[in-house]
Amino acid sequence: MSEREPVTMMDAATRLDYEFTAGVAMSKNLHGYEQGKFIGQRCPKCKKVYVPSRGSCPTDGLPTDEIVELPNTGTVTTYCVVNVPFAGQSIEIPYICGQILLDGANLSFMGLLQEIPIDEVRMGLRVEAVWVPPEELGPTLASVKYFRPNGEPDADYETYKEYL
């Protein structure tokens, strides 16, 4: 034994597979994408609309049972120009990643911004969703191809300052 080299390192590869349960509320949101719709839910107490909702209001701890269909338009609350390549990147750089606050929603989500020069993107930019063709719609946010300017004047900072 003493003639052998000590073991200083070993590999122990681990792989665990899971089935994810979206949940009741998130399923409604995902099925909305199949129809080209943004489906959110409203808290019965604070009246905030979450899109997507995880089924509860994180502030009040109450079920967000009321279904709210949101429009196709929203505001860019903040954004980032992606210049750095990374593993698994599917979009050519540089591209713009924006936080989108849909009109009537109280939760923003991340979306791709296109049809605008990079140096013209800005906070408060008014945008609309561009969906994939109807035959490609599925229960995924990938059904939204990207967001693009809808031509409206920029939103007042006061209207979205809580959602940066």
Partner 1 sequence: MSQYPALTSGRRPVGVVSFAQYDNVRREDARNEVEMLMPVVTEVFGNIGITKDDVGFICSGSTDYLIGGPFSFVAALDAVGVWPPRAESHVEMDGAWALYEAWVLLQEGEIDAALVYCFGRSSMGDLSEIMAVQLDPYYLAPLWPDPTSLAALQAQALIDAGKATEADFAAVASRSRRSALDNPKAQVAYDRSAEELLAEDYEVAPLRRHALPPLTDGCAAVVLAAGDKAYEWCERPAFITGIDHRIETHSVGARDLTVSPSTRTAGEKAGVGTKKVDVAELHAPYAHQELILAEALGLGDGVSVNPSGGALAANPMMSAGLIRIGESARRIWSGQADRAVAHATSGPCLQQNLVCVLEGV
Q: Which residues bind partner 1 (CB under 8 A)?
A: 10, 12, 14, 16-27, 54-63
Of 11 and 92, which CB lies nearer to partner 1 in the complex structure?
11
Compute φ and ψ for 70, nearest 5 degrees: -100, 155
Q: Which amino acid is at 88?
A: G
Torsion of CA 24, 28, 30, 33, to 10 degrees: 180
Supply the minimum distance, in Å, between the C-beta of residue 130 and partner 1.
Answer: 29
Supply the minimum distance, in Å, between the C-beta of residue 16 and partner 1.
Answer: 6
Supply the minimum distance, in Å, between the C-beta of residue 10 and partner 1.
Answer: 7
Of 59 and 150, which CB lies nearer to partner 1 in the complex structure?
59
> How far is it, in rounded angstroms, from Cα 124 to Cα 163?
11
Supply the minimum distance, in Å, between the C-beta of residue 55 and partner 1.
Answer: 4
Do residues 64 and 42 lie in contact, with contact meaning Cβ atoms separated by under 8 Å? yes
> How far is it, in rounded angstroms, from Cα 81 to Cα 122?
11
Of 33 and 50, which CB lies nearer to partner 1 in the complex structure?
50
Of 17 and 120, which CB lies nearer to partner 1 in the complex structure?
17
